[in-house]
Each structure stands twice: as C-alpha cells, then as structure tokens.
Amino acid sequence: MNTLLSDTPIRRESLRIAGEKVGRDEVIEVAYPYTGEVVATVPKATLEDVRRAYRIARDYQPTLTRFDRYKILMRAGEIIASRLDEISRVITLESGLCRKDSLYEVGRASDVLLFAANQALVDDGQVFSCDLTHHGKSRKVYTLREPLLGTITAITPFNHPLNQVIHKVAPSVATNNRMVLKPSEKTPLSAYVLADILYEADLPPQMLSVITGDPREIADTMLTHEDVDLVTFTGGVAIGKYIAGKAAYKRQVLELGGNDPIIVMEDADLEEAATLAASGSYKNSGQRCTAIKRMLVHTSVADEFVERLVAKTEALKYGDPMDPATDMGTVIDEAAAIQFEQVVNEAIAAGAQLRYGNIRRGALYSPTVLDHVDPQMSVVKHETFGPVSPVVRFDTIEDAIRIANGTAYGLSSSVCTNRLDYITRFIRELKVGSVNIREVPGYRLELTPFGGIKDSGLGYKEGVLEAMKSFTNTKTYSLPW
Ligand code: NAD
C-alpha cells in the first residue's frame, strides 16, 4: 500500500477551551483509514474541562456588531481559501475521503462562511400594524432576534469533518452566540483547524470552545448542563433519539440519518439519470446523509438504466485517497466496510443480483451495484452509509411513491422525469424534507433550508438561514403609532 505518510509528523492536538490550548495525558488516536497509520492524537477532555468551557461561555456576553461578525466570517473565509490544499489534506487524512471530495468540501465551507457573513448584515425584523381588525389599535408590533441567553452545544458526525462543523459554528458567530462544539472523535482535526482560523480572524475566543473526548464520558454533561439552551446535533438516528430524550427542556435541532431514493420514471433521460445515480451514490464514498441509497427504476427502462449505471461505476477510479486522480477514497473505517460487505452478501443470498463490486480491502470498499433488490431487504430498508447502489424495480407511480415512503426516513429525494403530472405528484406525496427534480438528493445551497422529517429529524431545518433563526430568540415590542 502507498504509505505517503511516513514523513508526516503525528499531530498532537490540544483542546481549545475558549481559545486556550489544553493538553491531556489520555488521548484518542486518529488513524488514516487507507493505511491504518496513526496521524494524530486528540485529548480526552475531562468533565472539569467540559464544565469550564460552559462556565467561560456563561460569563461572557458577546458585543460584536453586525459588521464585526461580517468581518470575522469573511476573514475566516479568506484564510481558508489561502490554505485550501492543506485543509483538504487534513480532511483526507482523518477520513480517507479522496482529495477531490475533500477539496470540494473546503469549497463548500467557504460558501457557508460567505453566506453567514452576508446574513449577519441582514436585520430580518418584522413590523405588524395593529389596526387590522375592528378591535385593533393604532400601534405597531415589531420583532427582533436576540442571541440565546445560554450556550449552544454542537455535536457533529464524521462524514464531512469540516462542513458539518462549519454549518453550526458560522451561524453561531453570525448571531452573536457562544458555542461548545464536540466534533466526531473519528474525524476531530478539521474542527480544531477551523477554531484556530476563527480566533485568527478575531473571534473573541469565549464564543467558541472545541472539545474532544469519549462521548460516553462527556456527552451527557453537554446535553444536560444548566447553561445549555440549545443542542444542535447531526448524526445517526439512534443517538439523535437518545439526545431527544436526554436534553430535556433544551431547544433541539436534530439532523439525522437518511435513506434517499432516486426515482427514475419511464420517460427519463437515462443517461442523465445514470449519471446522477452514480454521483449521488458514490460521492464522499457514499457517506452523505443525502447520498442515494435506493434506486427505484420503472421496470420498462430498468435494464438499460442498470447497464449505464454499471458502465459509470466501472469507470470510477477508487483507491488511494491522496492521488488527485482518485474519484472515491475509503469509507471511515474497516468496521464500516465489513458491515457493507455483510449487508450486500445478505441481499445476494436472498436473491439480489450483484452487477459490480462488493470488493473490500481494509477500509476500501468498491462502489457496488445490486439489481433486483426487494424493498424489504436490509440493504434498502435501513440506511447503508456507504457506496452501494441497490436497484429496486417498480411498475406504476403509485408503487414508486409507496416504496419511496416505505422506510422510517424522510430526508431528501431525487426524481428523474419531465412529466409535470408526475412532478407535481412526487412533490406533494413524497414524505421528505426535499424533492429535487433531475438533480441528486443532496443538491442544495449552503444558505437554503435543509433537513428531514420522520426518523431523519424533527423538521427544524439547517442551512445558514434556518440555523440562524433557530439560534435566536424572537422578541416582540410594540409602540403607539
Ligand atoms: P453518530 O450518530 O454515530 O455520531 C455523531 C456524533 O454523536 C459524534 O460526534 C459522536 O461522538 C456523538 N455521540 C456519540 N454518542 C453520543 C451520546 N451518547 N450523546 C451525544 N452524542 C454522542 O453518527 P456518525 O456515524 O458520526 O455519522 C453518520 C450518521 O450521520 C448517518 O446516519 C448520517 O445519515 C447522519 N448524518 C445526517 C446528516 C443530516 O444533515 N441529516 C448529515 C450528515 C450525517
């Protein structure tokens, strides 16, 4: 195997408690999934570290003007742009995502900063005249948004080590809040890089602490601490539901798992549909909440669609994540890859046809196409968070909608058709947070509302604009007018 890393010194990270670097003897090792080499260690925070982070946050009242916040976020964006290559390499090292994916991710992070900076300048207060009914008055009611009284707890998953974090941190800065962030212990490095960039861009350090540790030791304190007003969590359903029960009387924004379909109707442009299917399924090694995890294809076009999909899958270059030509790197670790292999083997044993892939070497799992999959098989009933393309055939639009709605999830979806009657039905009848016509389910702007329903979330959205709303309290005041 290519051990590009032998000359790379191991990073010894520290916690960032309000900007102060704090080391601990107990550490978590971070391994490069492609070779298994340890590339960094991060401290295991103690409970006292966690409590101190919240104490500092409680004792600090942000005073940044809108312009100050704009400048900090724009400056952070400039620093990130100037260190694009280095930050992309950090993401690849901690996650095994290929450089194409990690470079794309850094670009997205810059977009988040740009949108948050601009949104910080916008006062979205509303004005209501009060003489609207016969018992009205000559007054006006005004709204204004204030930062939360307490601190925000943010907890993020491994799959986009920088972008998941920045979608919480940037709106927090833009709204003058204080945040204590715990990134995934699997990919904790980008969060520390981001914190340092924000401090360098003049963010008052009391507004952001980053801690790492064993969630079994520190997570409950982060969820129940008296100074926490809001918990914003992105991750799997099981932990999301645990948080929903544990963080009692805290505002909760939960962005959980997905099992998004691409639906290909009989009139679809099959070349376009297969292109969307392959990129939606394999980008980021299939580890996106909005990755295409089920392909529902009209029986009359399924054979041709599968041929095209297999050809595109074969053409994909997977392997060494550091090779700039690689299209897909590893998944997060060997345990995840073994699990995909098992669930695919189970489907094959139950009658699905393997058309390509299902090859594993360590954490490297090939893109994999399965045809003739039954909607009840585990590979499609539950979220498979990896590069697997299971094709399910259907005969009518009613079947397509029923199968699409037939899992516990409701995040996003993709529909390939040009028929307006189909389009309107899918938009109305799919029980999901987003419907993208002739686009992958993951398509969005970093600004636009994003999030799911059912087991995918409680319907409170992320995206810069919605996150800024959820991170604020609306106050009304009224004046005689
Ligand atoms: P995960 O749920 O295993 O972990 C997420 C975070 O929760 C990590 O930081 C982890 O340390 C922390 N955690 C672990 N135990 C905890 C506890 N008891 N209390 C509080 N926090 C705890 O998820 P993952 O494997 O890192 O990420 C993959 C999942 O995330 C997938 O299901 C994916 O669909 C989902 N996801 C959802 C979105 C979305 O926006 N809806 C986006 C990306 C990923």
Global ipTM: 0.97
Query: What pLDDT is recorded for position 7?
Result: 65
* CB distance 258 to ligand 1 below 6 Å: yes
Pocket test for ligand 1, best of 228, 289, 292 (most atoms within 8 A of CB): 289
Q: CA-to-CA distance for 34 and 332, rounded, in angstroms? A: 9
- Atom 8 of ligand 1, residue of closest alpha carbon: 184
Taking 80 as the threshold, does the pLDDT of residue 4 lie above it?
no
**Is residue 278 predicted with pLDDT exceeding 70?**
yes
The larger pLDDT score, comparing residue 3 to residue 211, is at: 211
Q: Comparing 329 with 7, which gets the higher pLDDT?
A: 329
For 280-294, what is the mean pLDDT? 98
**Closest atom of ligand 1 relative to the 452 alpha carbon:** 41
pLDDT value of position 37? 96
pLDDT per residue as tens digits for the range 48-60: 999 999 999 999 9
> Is 41 a pocket residue for ligand 1 (Cβ < 6 Å)?
no
**Confidence at residue 1, expressed as pLDDT on a 0 to 100 scale:** 39
Q: For residue range 241-267, list pLDDT tens digits in order.
A: 999 999 999 999 999 999 999 999 999
What Å distances lie between residue 300 and 23, 120, 308, 394, 422, CA to CA? 61, 51, 15, 9, 16
Residues 6+ apart with CB under 8 A from 79: 197, 200, 201
Decide: 234 in ligand 1 pocket, CB within 6 A: yes
Phi then psi for residue 126, to 5 deg, are -115, 160
CA distances for 77 relative to 8, 92, 107, 110, angstroms: 26, 20, 10, 5
Instruction: Out of 155, 185, 254, 382, give the residue to mutate to test ligand 1, the one with the largest number of ligand atoms within 8 Å of its CB.
Output: 155
Ligand 1 atom closest to residue 457's alpha carbon, by position in its atom list? 41
CB 424 within 8 A of CB 399: no
pLDDT given at position 5: 59
CB-based contact 188:94 (threshold 8 Å): yes
Q: What pLDDT band is residue 9 in, cutting at 50, 70 and 90?
A: confident
328 lines ligand 1 (CB under 6 A): no
pLDDT band of 277, cuts 50, 70, 90: very high
For residue 158, report the distance from its CA to the centre of ligand 1, in Å.
7
Q: Is 463 in the pocket of ligand 1 (CB under 6 A)?
A: no
pLDDT at residue 2 in the model: 42
pLDDT digits (tens, 9 = 90+) for 325-350: 999 999 999 999 999 999 999 999 99
pLDDT at 82 over 70: yes
% of residues, the chain, pLDDT over 70: 99
The predicted-structure confidence for 402-458, as pLDDT tens digits, reads as follows 999 999 999 999 999 999 999 999 999 999 999 999 999 999 999 999 999 999 999
Give the pLDDT confidence score for residue 3 in this predicted structure: 46
